[in-house]
Structure 1
């Protein structure tokens, strides 16, 4: 055989192998639908005419999918069309939507991919009655929620900007929408010429639904995707300045209340304590290996303490506002807890470290309070804020311990909204 021909055959074979390797190295693509909702999901036309979908929620989904080994292809489409496509397995998934009994029957739901803050917006010169004329965007999550909760919708419109105009003309009494969507409208349209009042309704967790065909073919994807969500959502779930102020007020009241019931320094002084950091790590490893379905002998001992039982009873009495309570000593290990935690040693976490940072800077008492960002707690299926404060006395900038309360973010703000 001619040497040149042999060389061409070898090169062709090498090229085939290289193309195959590149093809195999490319991650699979996840085909998703969503809907237009700035600043969460928006379409931007790129060079070549293709639309790129971006925004906080879209970026979160892309991030979690990429970290799970998948690329994403996202299209903006009306909700009815998206649900039709998902039912017939024409797409892999659809986001960002409220929980749906209809979709729960045909698809698998992820952990939340976004958290919206819904308010009734009303004119400042009109009272907010029990039977307002409510306006909402047609086909939106807000409309579905209103209907599911037996509200009467007065007007459905095609865009959020129409709701602002209807409020201005007093055609409706209240518009239900996400806080940031309204803020964006007011910034875009300038001063609407009226004062708006806000009435907190709910935190609305929104989800990715994956079709049955996709989850059957890729059963490992959803677990991997969920594990990546909290890190991909970091920074998107911050409390507003007003919300943080309200949470601080509530926290001061709760901490004062529990401190009047419990002798927290005595609980720390009499609680279990390890001799060395090595012992702490040993106990923590055993603890984590069993929790949350099982408990070590040390965990059972702490749960059985009078302080832990009082924390539990006090938490239950807070009507869902408090999700957990714990007391840590100055090593960051647990001295009392309202329920079994996933870790024995809390000393490496922000709820402990931030308080230590504050006391080392000379802050004391409630001035050293740390309020965390909002975080989804998969164990309770709630969005939670943790608040932690130092326990006196403080020696050389280090407190005797730290008191931590977990708050259901939605219930906390609703409780504050109900206060006169």
Structure 2
């Protein structure tokens, strides 16, 4: 009996099964919060959820080997379903001590900018009547931090109306959410004054049962989050002006305590890019747990000691300070960095682009997008500026600072 047709048939069936295999699906709840999570329908009337945070979660889940089924639900119901293991996960929420006892938290999947909005300029009085959305992250945070809430509403759209009617003195809401709801040009709507309160990182919580059955999911999901969030967390034009002014002030402080050009000359220098990449590979292989001999040499330099001492005077604001030469390799550092060569990173390349574009003064300063640093659990930006004379479009070096974005804006906010 010729078994080849039977074998080929079995093999074909197996191949078809492989082709049609689908990734496992996550059953997730979230809540409506434009532009981050928005209920929508296709042209055929099929309901789905869209928005920036949806894109981020879908991206990281897909990279981790999972598909998603995301539904909109009231926040109290979502939290209840998560605690009872009726769903796999719930996002995007502020850290919750209650959920921490039964669920596991991811790295942030979204970053909101929370402001108090008022119809009157000037500081908000301690007796202000505060309005907030019931069951929202903002309400939970206000209660946890001792604020008196005057009224909780069922829909975000009610808050600007209550402000305009004088029923409340201040409304706490994400900046972009309020922008989508409040249009000063519309009849009956006036200008609102925004008072920055905090950057609010929001998280995905996975249920106890899911994490027990899939112990590696969160670490894999977290690994892909930074790339999936890239470009979504940016500074507003007004925030960029404030950060640029702060950066100028900090650069001036360093320049007054350290001769930057001398520090560049005192640092090590490689002869070729091949040497740079060789030392950079060794550096990255050991950092951040251990320093190479080259890293220890740089850390011991007077320039590095000066940067470290200066950083300690701004410990809540400045996360790192580094100085490079014109090759983009490190000449001085406030602490061990993740890599030696900075010449392929925006902190270096964008400063060169600004110079070659004919920009001068503070316009040469580079300000990065906001990024999450898992090692410090802080959202940061990088600011960098040229140092010394420019030759063929390249400065003698660059000075770069990592800044905690929330502290940077709080330090510069005006009342």
Tell me which interval the TM-score lies in, with the shorter structure as reference length: over 0.9
**Aligned position for 1:98:** 94
Q: Does 1:32 align with 2:28?
A: yes
Partners of 1:336 and 1:11 lie apart in 2 by: 66
Work out which of the residue numbers 309, 312, 316 in structure 2 matches 1:320.
Answer: 316
Task: Specify the alignment match of 1:415 in structure 2.
Answer: 411
- 1:174-196 CA-to-partner distances (Å, cap 9, x unmatched) read 00000001100014993543221
Q: Which moved more, 1:303-312 or 1:111-120?
A: 303-312
Q: Return the alpha-carbon distance in structure 1 between the equivalents of residues 122 and 95 of structure 2.
A: 33
- 2:124 match: 128
Select which of 321, 339, 357 maps to 1:361.
357
CA distance in 2, matches of 1:275, 1:35: 56
Corresponding residue number in structure 2 for 1:397 = 393
> C-alpha displacement at 1:150, in angstroms?
0.7
Equivalences, count: 414
**How far apart, in 1, do the equivalents of 2:399 and 2:277 lie?**
21
Q: Which of 68, 87, 107 is the aligned partner of 1:111?
A: 107
Q: Deviations over 1:350-408 (max 9, x none)?
A: 00000111222333342211111111111211111111000011112110000001111
Q: Which moved further from structure 2: 186-195 or 272-281?
A: 186-195
CA contact (8 A) 1:365 1:391 kept: no
SS of residue matched to 1:385: strand
1:319 deviation in Å? 4.8
Q: Structure 1 residues 278 and 11, CA, compared in 2 at 3 Å: closer, same or farther?
A: closer
Structure 1 residue 175 and structure 2 residue 180: aligned?
no
Q: Distance in 1 between matches of 2:341 and 2:173?
A: 41
Counterpart in 2 of 1:87? Answer: 83
Query: What residue in structure 1 maps to residue 281 of structure 2?
Result: 285
For residue 182 of structure 2, give the secondary structure of its aligned residue in structure 1: helix
Alignment CA distance shift 1:125-1:326 (3 Å): closer
Pairing 1:307–2:271 present: no
Instruction: Tell me whether 1:276 sits opposite 2:272 in the alignment.
Output: yes
Query: Which stretches in structure 1 are left out of the alignment for 5+ residues?
Result: none
Q: Are 1:75 and 2:71 counterparts?
A: yes
In structure 2, the residue matched to 1:262 is: 258
Contact 1:308 1:336 in 2 (8 A): yes
Kindly indicate whether the alpha-carbon contact (under 8 Å) linking 1:115 and 1:204 is maintained by their aligned counterparts in 2: yes
Cα 1:11/1:399, change in 2 over 3 Å: closer
What SS class does the counterpart of residue 150 from structure 2 fall into?
strand
- Residue 282 of structure 1: SS of its match in structure 2? helix
Q: Is the partner of 2:111 in helix, strand or coil?
A: strand
What corresponds to 1:147 in structure 2? 143
Q: TM-score, normalised by structure 1?
A: 0.93
Correspondence for 1:207 among 181, 185, 203: 203
Residue matched to 2:17: 20
Question: How far, CA to CA, are the matches of 1:37 and 1:407 in structure 2?
Answer: 28
2:157 aligns to what SS in structure 1?
A: helix
Question: What is the root-mean-square deviation in Å for CA atoms of aligned residues?
Answer: 2.2
Look up the SS of the partner of 1:348 in the other structure: coil
Partners in 2 of 1:84 and 1:193 — Cα distance? Answer: 37
Question: What's the TM-score, normalizing by structure 2?
Answer: 0.94
Gaps of 5+ in 2: none
| Paired residues of 2:183 and 2:189 also in contact (CA < 8 A) | no
